[in-house]
A and B are shown apart, each in its own frame.
Chain A
Amino acid sequence: MDPYRYLPFLSRRVMQAWAAREQPSDHIAWTPLARPLADCRVALISTAGIALRTDQPFDQQGERDDPWWGDPTCRQLPADVTEADVRFYHLHIDATPAEEDLDVQLPLRRLRELVDAGVVGQISPRHFSIMGYVLDATELTTITAPELAKALTADRADLVLLVPV
């Protein structure tokens, strides 16, 4: 596959440069799956900047005021959330398709169907969203990611699928 196929020209050049520069750490993160997929409790994390309408919005104004900054926090989403319950805060994406059908970006109804079909064991009670545009990952990795890890451990998630915006 052409891994940059659907990126506009400028984004393609920037992402190529970032990929060439990023060096994985010597530390190898690895936790084997404890059980087969058909017995796994699965959680999703979306990078689309999705928040419940009743929750605190992701800080779009902060990014407008300083375009080098992106909101590094996360939001919780219950397993039965629908497009009517949420707003999309990622300023780099046309959210129209996901506003029409949340499963385009966060396929929780499809995950429920896979549970019903016996492909997946259970759907985790909580799912999460972060904002994909965060150029300085310090707060994301030192504060938000540990919060996510704590919540997913508490929910006894067996497998977490991070899904792109």
Chain B
Amino acid sequence: MGLVANVIEDAGVPTACLSMIPPLTRATGAPRVIGLAHPMGMAFGRPGDADGQRDVLRAALEAAAAMTEPRSYTELPFIWPEPRSAAIRHPDPPPPIVQLLTKKPWLLPRLVSGELP
């Protein structure tokens, strides 16, 4: 996400990255990063919660517009209303890389190191 933002920003279009893994997004040097602790698959809130979704979007856009320095970072204050165990939803079937690493766990260091097979 951050690498794509850098290219768009370089072309003259201001960008902001809303991120639920902000350390990774910030590590790319992205111009504006906004951290949000919401579960994967529901960045803006729960289905049908228009007010909640609008609050997140508005906060993200206003935070982006307030940033005046490269590599700015801020965190949005939203708190997800479910416990962590309920908020993490696993896709069915599991992602292909998870299926592969379940069968061949010795390949995990490749994923971690980025030295792809």
| B16 contact set on A, CB distance < 8 A | 159-162
Flag if A162 contacts B13 (CB, 8 Å): no
| Known A-B contacts A104-B42, A164-B43; A153 and B13 likewise in contact (beta carbons under 8 Å) | yes
- Shortest distance between the CB of B60 and any CB in chain A (Å): 6
Flag if A110 contacts B57 (CB, 8 Å): yes
Q: How many residues of B contact A (CB 8 A)?
A: 79
- Complex CA gap A26/B5 in Å reads 15
| Known A-B contacts A10-B98, A36-B65, A68-B117; A110 and B53 likewise in contact (beta carbons under 8 Å) | yes
- Write the residues of chain A forming the contact surface with B, with a CB cutoff of 8 angstroms: 1-8, 10, 13-25, 27-34, 36-37, 40, 42, 45, 47, 63-64, 67-68, 91-98, 100-101, 103-105, 107, 109-111, 113-114, 119-120, 130, 132-133, 135-137, 140-141, 144-146, 148-150, 152-153, 157-165
- Write the residues of chain B forming the contact surface with A, with a CB cutoff of 8 angstroms: 1, 3-24, 26-31, 35-48, 50, 53-54, 56-58, 60-62, 64-65, 68, 70-71, 75, 80, 84, 87-92, 95-101, 111-114, 116-117
